[in-house]
Amino acid sequence: MERRYIKDILEKGKEEKVLVKGWVHETRELGKIRFLILRDVTGIIQVVAVKDNSEFKKMNQSRENVISVSGNLVKSKQAPGGIEIVPEKIEVIAEAEQPLPIDVSDFSKTELPKRLDYRFLDLHRKRTQAIFKIQSVISTAFREHFIKKGFVEFQPPSIISSASEGGTELFPAKYFEKNAYLAQSPQLYKQMIACSMEKAMTITPVWRAEKHNTIRHLNESRQMDIEMAFANQEIIMKELEEVIQYIVRQVIERCEKELDLLNVKLKVPKGVYLSYEEAIKKVKGKIGEDFTPEQEKKLCEMYPDSVVFTHSWPSSIKPFYIMPKNQEKNAKYTEGFDALYRGIEISSGGQRIHIPELLEKMIKKKGLNPKDFKSYIDSFRYGAPEHAGWSIGLERFTMVLLNLGNIREACMFPRDRDRLVP
């Protein structure tokens, strides 16, 4: 007999012979009746045996044992899903050593660090699975949306020869006789592609050797990036608003069960646009400074169910490659923006400088040496149009969307200051 998925069996609701395989989710004994809840990736089903059933003894399984059950489906009002299996044969495929090192129930009492130590087992939990099923829908929706719009997906290198942005610390990597680093962003590469193929997108890992340990930073994260030629800040912010709306709509449509399990209610957000100056005044911040986490939260609370765009940031707090207003080297403000959602920054972006001379000036203004950026600057000498783009952190976005208290909940195998295993 061919193995069947539980969801399919429950949907058909037909009394027939079946073979199912999965994990022991729960067992119970009521006098002369034994119940076993079996779980596969699609759902759970009840197996029931009375004392004179040949498999009665084998119904006494440890939690998370992997078993196969063949038997007859019987309709039952008390069973979850309205149908249960009376077993004819139960076989153990793999035993789970007991005691389990972590609590694998939906509302596990095991603390996050210990759950991460045993992430392979934590992934048995429906709650953990729900997070990563939703994350998979997020990245798929992102890709779908831009592929439909004619973007080309590109694969940037992960090993680079020098800092692409300055600022954050890089992880050094030995590369034969040369010094190399792990890429902190695909910035340079996506610009080169926008300046040739016009519309570029990627989902790619990046590495930042930031030593701090926060609930919103990882040292290895995935970024969802786009870059477009003949675009400015305004055009690119609209692209971001639209893709977030598409992603949220897809998650609502495709992940009803998972959202219920996580107790998350979602609404498709609208875009709200404020200049940096307006926004920093609204939260009583200092002009020329980044928003503190508290100020980001406060600003979002003023606009519920919205993606809050703060645009036209001062050049002093944006990277050197962000285009100054009116392409003037002394302009105080830029074509750079941030986007906040549900209280936290989820994306940064803007129009880039495509004029080599201006780029050199801005690099110097930041106290950096244009010689260190020679190949970057040279890439704009042979027919480079104006272009703009942004980046959303995949784990950051997942965390925000699902109200997770820590970004590590949204990363299958997090890399942080202390964690390199598993």
Task: Give the shortest CB-406-to-ligand ATP separation in angstroms.
Answer: 12
The interface region with ligand ATP, picked from 25-33, 197-205, 245-253, 341-349 by CB under 6 A, is 341-349
Has 217 been annotated as catalytic?
yes
Computed on alpha carbons and rounded to an integer, the radius of gyration of the chain in Å comes to 26
Q: Nearest to residue 299, comparing CAs of 269, 337, 272?
A: 272
Q: Nearest to residue 84, comparing CAs of 73, 93, 94, 92?
A: 73
Answer whether 186's CB lies under 8 Å from 153's CB. Answer: no
Residue numbers 320-349 binding Mg ion by CB under 5 A: 348
The only residue of 46, 61, 110, 223 in contact with ligand ATP, by rule CB under 6 A: 223
Residue numbers 343-382 binding Mg ion by CB under 5 A: 348
Has 348 been annotated as catalytic?
yes
Q: How far apart are CA 419 and CA 408, in angstroms?
A: 11
Query: 174-213 mask for ligand ATP (x: CB under 6 A)?
Result: ----------------------------------x-x---
Cα 162 to Cα 165, 179, 185, 340, 399: the distances in Å are 9, 9, 12, 30, 31
The conformation of residue 316, written as its DSSP 8-state character, comes to: G
Task: Give the shortest CB-126-to-ligand ATP separation in angstroms.
Answer: 25
393 touching ligand ATP, by CB under 6 A: yes
Task: Give the shortest CB-98-to-Mg ion separation in angstroms.
Answer: 46
Task: Give the shortest CB-210-to-ligand ATP separation in angstroms.
Answer: 6
Residue numbers 346-385 binding ligand ATP by CB under 6 A: 346-348
3-class SS of residue 187 = helix
Residue whose CB is less far from ligand ATP, 180 or 218: 218
Residue numbers 394-413 binding ligand ATP by CB under 6 A: 395-396, 407
233 touching ligand ATP, by CB under 6 A: no
Q: How far apart are CA 117 and CA 127, in angstroms?
A: 17
Tokens of 415: 């890399």
Residue whose CB is less far from ligand ATP, 88 or 210: 210
The interface region with ligand ATP, picked from 5-13, 42-50, 214-222, 356-364 by CB under 6 A, is 214-222
Has 396 been annotated as catalytic?
yes
Cα 110 to Cα 103, 115, 378, 417, 422: the distances in Å are 6, 6, 53, 21, 17
Helix (H) or strand (E) holding 340: strand 336-341
Has 345 been annotated as catalytic?
yes
Residue whose CB is less far from ligand ATP, 231 or 346: 346
Task: Give the shortest CB-276-to-Mg ion separation in angstroms.
Answer: 13
Return the residue nearest ligand ATP (CB atom).
Answer: 393
Q: Which of 64, 239, 345, 360 is catalytic?
A: 345
Residue whose CB is less far from ligand ATP, 121 or 339: 339
Q: How far apart are CA 34 and CA 83, in angstroms?
A: 16
Handedness of CA 398, 399, 403, 408 (dihedral sign): positive
The conformation of residue 372, written as its DSSP 8-state character, comes to: G
Burial label for 151, CB within 10 Å (0-12, 13-18, 19+), is buried
Residues in contact with Mg ion by the rule CB under 5 A: 348
List of residues contacting ligand ATP (CB under 6 A): 208, 210, 217-218, 221, 223, 345-348, 391-393, 395-396, 407
Q: Which residues are catalytic?
A: 208, 210, 216-217, 345, 348, 396
